[in-house]
Chains A and B, each alone.
Chain A
Amino acid sequence: MKVVHYMNQFFAGLGGESAAGHPPTRIDGAVGPGKQLGVPVAVTLTCGDDYFGERETQALAQLLEWIECEEPDVLLCGPAFGSGRYGYACGTLAREASRRGIRSICAMHEENPGVFAADGAAFIVPTGETVAGMREALPKMARLASDLALGMTSPEGTVECLPRRSRQNYFSEKKGADRAIDMLIAKLCGGSYETEVEPPQDRVTPPPPLADLAYEKLALVTEAGVVPSGNPDGLEQCRAKSWHMYSVKGVQSLERGQYQSVHGGFDLTAANNNPNRLVPLDAVRKLQALGRIGEVHDYLYTTTGNCAPTAVAVKFGQEIAQHLQESKVSAVILTGT
């Protein structure tokens, strides 16, 4: 059995957060957790999480080239646990490798955005949220790899995997219009019909309302693409690859000429005349002065939601939420467009 193992810069021993921009690298043999797998690893591939997130196309091209060159029986990715950036890279790489005919396995926590990124194309072994789950995860990955290498097509029976849910296009015998008419007649006449889209499962239950904002710390978060004028970090207008935080400490209002939106989903003329209408800092400051809001967080969090694939949106959301939590923020105004 020939195995290629993908892991991020941290687990490959290249360094932590400071090495997150590390480009794709190929290493012969097993590295780090790969040594504990119990199956021989021919090649380890690694890439910094930031590098992958910011230059996905280049990273994928290089990693897939190495994988295809090796012709492995199985590609293993992770375990990424609860790490959103790492999980996203694992899920994306496994998805692309799978679609090129290479059997691929990821391991990560079930709420990791990498689960969306894998798009049902790869097997995903569920793990705990932290690295403490390593000891449990590795033997499951190894077992699944052996089963897949033996040619088993649905080895979920022997190793518990997350359900593979992928939505793939195909050409039906009937046009959408005629399927709709059939469905309506069945619905009107009490006949049986099957909806083509199942209700989504990822509903978020709103928390109970806050009793009094005067005792809370409020942050402003937006997907409206609001940035300081000139867009210093090059936030994308569409399909954003990053989110950013900008200090608004002491800033009373998002003045025209000092802030702008780069969002590509609507005509920006009115928004750029008064960016407060995208992120209501002016109103928040007035309420703060009146004592109606206890504290305003020093940072504005921003990205462009336009055309964001779900996996990316989940990853950004988790990362921003983690920041907010660490900053002891208790209330958020999230503005969308």
Chain B
Amino acid sequence: MTNVSSSLSQTREASDSSVGEAQRILEVGTYPVREVSESRATRLRDGRLEIDTEDLKALATTEPPVADVGVSVARPGDSIRLVNVLDAFQPAVKEGASDTTFSGVTGRLSPLGRGRTNCLDGVAVISTCDFRATHDVGQMLTPSRGYSTVDMDGPGRACSHFASTVNVVLDFKCNPAFSFADCDRSIRRASLKIAQRLAEATSDEVSPPSVEELTWGPVDKGLPAVCAIIQVGADEPLCDTFFYGASLRGTLPFLSDPREILDGALNSGFYDFSGGSNPTYFYQRNSLLLSLLRAHGRDLRLAGVILAVVYWPSAFEKSRNALLTAKLAENAGVQGAILTAFSIGNSHNDAMLTCRACETLGIKTVVVISETNGGLTDYVEEADAIVSVGNYEEIVDEWEPEEVIGGMYYDYEYSLPIAQPGPLPLLAYFGSTSQMGDMAMAVRSS
């Protein structure tokens, strides 16, 4: 183990010396936003973000599959429920290289995770779309199932992180002449363009109140080497995850620079079981990666982050993916891993098999996962260190907001439109049980 990790460090040192000092650092300038209001121009003044909704609409509707988009602001404490939520984004822009922002999706291909990124804090761009209003998606997995909700007030307010941000909500209407896969691609592109446009307002301000330098250089080899293993779903349109603009469907696990992910290289396109999926916003501000980078050189040595696709359809493919993930972690020279599960259902088999494969290779593993009323979907004896992010079946009391944005409610059983959904399980709340650990929710026995 010692030899492997020291040779890995040498490799890293060699590659680090071949690039300039500045390129090894990701600098994140953060501009807090306290208030968002509509105006005739998009600009930022003393924590007040003014948005030109007509300009944002025009930006979105340059995408032909987008027939129309409603732009509104939802603030913490408003009597507003968002439904059919697809994704959330943190406004961000690459300073001095704005054409590389969200590289691969809206920006030209260029390595992310280095240079300077300016972002807005306290504000999120949220996309909603009622695909069923324009498309026959049959029983395809859409955000309508499980509602995909953010309640800005009421008993569900604590369930979603996005009840605490001021949200610029983009309610998309699709053009039925295009496939829903095309519509989805355009919605993601339009949302990211708008997220970038909002962050470009930071150029109005002199300098950000806070700048964090995220470095990832060689450190004391005596510290334990660890990696994060982030599992993601990438199956089919609307149940997909994108890296530098392309779907991860069918890909082998691979090692990535944590700062790439924080810099917007990883995007969600997975809308099923809204509570358990990972919003793009959580990739951009990933608590696990940020904490690991901050602990790098102090408590541990971060060897990288492994992205691994789950929901493999057969036992052989699941076991093979688990093996290859563990082998990659072993090749990276780690002694420990934090494995974050994805969504619910058979993806939790992938999580448990990967935990077993890691432990079998001597890699001590912590699994971050959600649970049901009955416990876990799957379990292996090797999973002796589990962090639970929530019981997703717990029922949240009913709430009747004054305003609903995002389209119709649909029932669970047949995906038919209904007037009132009644009390919702936690799983219906967007990002509530994302298993990367960005929320403080936990579970106790009583």
List the interface of chain A (C-beta within 8 A of B).
Answer: 57, 116, 119-120, 164-181, 183-185, 187-189, 193, 195-200, 202, 234, 236-241, 262-268, 306-307, 309-311, 313
A180–B224 contact, CB under 8 A?
no
B23-31, B114-122, B383-391 - the one binding chain A: B383-391
A180-B338, A184-B226 as given contacts; A238 in contact with B366, CB under 8 Å: no
A119-B373, A170-B441, A187-B364 as given contacts; A237 in contact with B391, CB under 8 Å: no
B368–A180 contact, CB under 8 A?
yes
Complex Cα distance, B424 from A307, in Å, reads: 13
Residues of chain A within 8 A (CB-CB) of B376 are 197, 200
B32-40, B198-206, B210-218, B286-294 - the one binding chain A: B286-294
Cβ of B415 within 8 Å of any chain A Cβ, yes or no, is: yes
A199–B379 contact, CB under 8 A?
yes
Cβ of B381 within 8 Å of any chain A Cβ, yes or no, is: yes
B445–A165 contact, CB under 8 A?
yes
Which 5 residue pairs of A and B lie closest in terms of their CB atoms, listed nearest first?
Answer: A310-B374, A176-B437, A177-B437, A177-B288, A236-B413
27 A–B contacts, CB within 8 A, in A order? A116-B373, A116-B374, A166-B446, A167-B443, A168-B446, A169-B443, A170-B441, A175-B287, A176-B436, A176-B437, A176-B440, A176-B441, A177-B287, A180-B338, A187-B336, A187-B385, A199-B379, A199-B381, A200-B376, A237-B139, A239-B412, A263-B139, A266-B235, A267-B140, A307-B344, A309-B372, A310-B374
Interface residues as binary, B390-404 with A (CB distance below 8 Å gives 1, 0 otherwise) = 110110000000000
A237–B414 contact, CB under 8 A?
yes
Cβ of B442 within 8 Å of any chain A Cβ, yes or no, is: yes
Complex Cα distance, B336 from A189, in Å, reads: 10
Interface residues as binary, B300-333 with A (CB distance below 8 Å gives 1, 0 otherwise) = 1000000000000000000000000000000000
Residues of chain A within 8 A (CB-CB) of B383 are 195
Out of A164, A169, A180, A265, which one reaches B437, CB within 8 Å? A180
Residues of chain B within 8 A (CB-CB) of A172 are 440-442
Interface residues as binary, B408-446 with A (CB distance below 8 Å gives 1, 0 otherwise) = 000011110000001000100000000111111111111
Complex Cα distance, B441 from A36, in Å, reads: 46
Complex Cα distance, B376 from A310, in Å, reads: 10
Interface residues as binary, B229-245 with A (CB distance below 8 Å gives 1, 0 otherwise) = 00000011000000000
Complex Cα distance, B240 from A255, in Å, reads: 31
- Nearest CB in chain A: distance from B28 CB, A: 17
A264–B415 contact, CB under 8 A?
yes
Out of A176, A189, A265, A311, which one reaches B373, CB within 8 Å? A311
- Nearest CB in chain B: distance from A92 CB, A: 11
Residues of chain B within 8 A (CB-CB) of A199 are 379, 381
- Nearest CB in chain A: distance from B367 CB, A: 8
A171–B441 contact, CB under 8 A?
yes
- Nearest CB in chain A: distance from B21 CB, A: 28
Complex Cα distance, B264 from A274, in Å, reads: 41
Cβ of B158 within 8 Å of any chain A Cβ, yes or no, is: yes
The total of interchain contacts (Cβ-Cβ below 8 angstroms) comes to 183
Chain A interface mostly helix, strand, loop or mixed?
A: loop
Complex Cα distance, B441 from A163, in Å, reads: 25
B311 nearest CB neighbor, chain A only? A266
- Nearest CB in chain A: distance from B139 CB, A: 5
- Nearest CB in chain A: distance from B361 CB, A: 15
B158 nearest CB neighbor, chain A only? A171
- Nearest CB in chain B: distance from A306 CB, A: 8
A196–B386 contact, CB under 8 A?
yes
Residues of chain B within 8 A (CB-CB) of A268 are 138-139
Complex Cα distance, B372 from A309, in Å, reads: 8
Complex Cα distance, B439 from A168, in Å, reads: 16
B440–A173 contact, CB under 8 A?
yes
Residues of chain B within 8 A (CB-CB) of A116 are 373-374
B438–A176 contact, CB under 8 A?
yes
A188-B226, A238-B412 as given contacts; A169 in contact with B366, CB under 8 Å: no
B335–A239 contact, CB under 8 A?
no
- Nearest CB in chain B: distance from A290 CB, A: 26
A262 nearest CB neighbor, chain B only? B139
A168-B443, A171-B158, A177-B436 known; 19 other A-B pairs, CB under 8 Å?
A168-B445, A169-B442, A172-B442, A176-B368, A176-B439, A179-B387, A180-B338, A184-B366, A187-B364, A196-B388, A196-B442, A199-B381, A200-B375, A202-B375, A236-B412, A238-B412, A241-B413, A264-B415, A310-B375
B444–A167 contact, CB under 8 A?
yes
Complex Cα distance, B340 from A188, in Å, reads: 18
Out of A57, A169, A193, A240, which one reaches B385, CB within 8 Å? A193
Residues of chain B within 8 A (CB-CB) of A181 are 288, 291-292, 295, 299-300, 338
Complex Cα distance, B390 from A181, in Å, reads: 17
Complex Cα distance, B444 from A195, in Å, reads: 11
B374–A185 contact, CB under 8 A?
no
Cβ of B345 within 8 Å of any chain A Cβ, yes or no, is: yes
- Determine which residue in B373, B379, B384, B444 has the highest number of CB atoms from chain A within 10 A of its CB, and name it: B373
Complex Cα distance, B373 from A120, in Å, reads: 10
Residues of chain B within 8 A (CB-CB) of A178 are 287, 291, 437
B366–A183 contact, CB under 8 A?
yes
B413–A175 contact, CB under 8 A?
no
Complex Cα distance, B337 from A184, in Å, reads: 7
Cβ of B141 within 8 Å of any chain A Cβ, yes or no, is: yes
A184–B444 contact, CB under 8 A?
no
Out of A165, A177, A180, A238, which one reaches B413, CB within 8 Å? A238
Cβ of B145 within 8 Å of any chain A Cβ, yes or no, is: yes
A167-B373, A184-B226, A236-B414 as given contacts; A175 in contact with B439, CB under 8 Å: yes
A177-B287, A262-B139, A264-B139 as given contacts; A238 in contact with B145, CB under 8 Å: yes
Cβ of B371 within 8 Å of any chain A Cβ, yes or no, is: yes
Residues of chain B within 8 A (CB-CB) of A195 are 383-386
- Nearest CB in chain B: distance from A174 CB, A: 7
Complex Cα distance, B292 from A236, in Å, reads: 43
Complex Cα distance, B93 from A155, in Å, reads: 61
Complex Cα distance, B439 from A171, in Å, reads: 9
A168–B444 contact, CB under 8 A?
yes
Residues of chain A within 8 A (CB-CB) of B145 are 238, 264
Complex Cα distance, B443 from A263, in Å, reads: 30
